[in-house]
Chains A and B, each alone.
Chain A
Amino acid sequence: KAGVTQTPRYLIKTRGQQVTLSCSPISGHRSVSWYQQTPGQGLQFLFEYFSETQRNKGNFPGRFSGRQFSNSRSEMNVSTLELGDSALYLCASSLGASGVGETQYFGPGTRLLVL
């Protein structure tokens, strides 16, 4: 079974631009979560989507948004990019919505550099 895929793998943008990242979950998985990872910090939770609905949202500004499609693929958008948005963006899929014992499987991430 194919794992979680993310595109693009690398991205360079300039301040003020916007960016869209894509995540395709493992076949049959209906939940997708997004995280931001920066050196020295733990994974910071952005949001979780399940069955096209946002279930949970982390403490990020409104510039960060996402959506999920009927085939469970998910996109994340960041508008008006700032230098501090440079990070590795990871998505993780799970069979069901986040809950006791629900394991998340991660994609390789998209490394975003904002200049």
Chain B
Amino acid sequence: DGGITQSPKYLFRKEGQNVTLSCEQNLNHDAMYWYRQDPGQGLRLIYYSQIVNDFQKGDIAEGYSVSREKKESFPLTVTSAQKNPTAFYLCASSVHGIAGEQYFGPGTRLTVT
């Protein structure tokens, strides 16, 4: 089945550690995205990539980094510079670039203590 996978579902880290969240898609989509969701709130865009080896900052990129070395993979690193990293992180992809319908992965819930 085609889809987006994010692993792990739950992730726990100590403050001051970098952590990388995985996102893989087999939908052959060009564009991929990372969103952050805090409790009771909507999604905010962290980074997006419309093509391999290229990515742009979203609304809340500070303290995060990404790479897009392969079409199917778009890992997100939450660095120690991110002040409040505890959140729910969602990865998405789309066929027609940033203006198109996006398909979402199951999400990773990150807790930093």
**Do A and B form a real pair?**
no
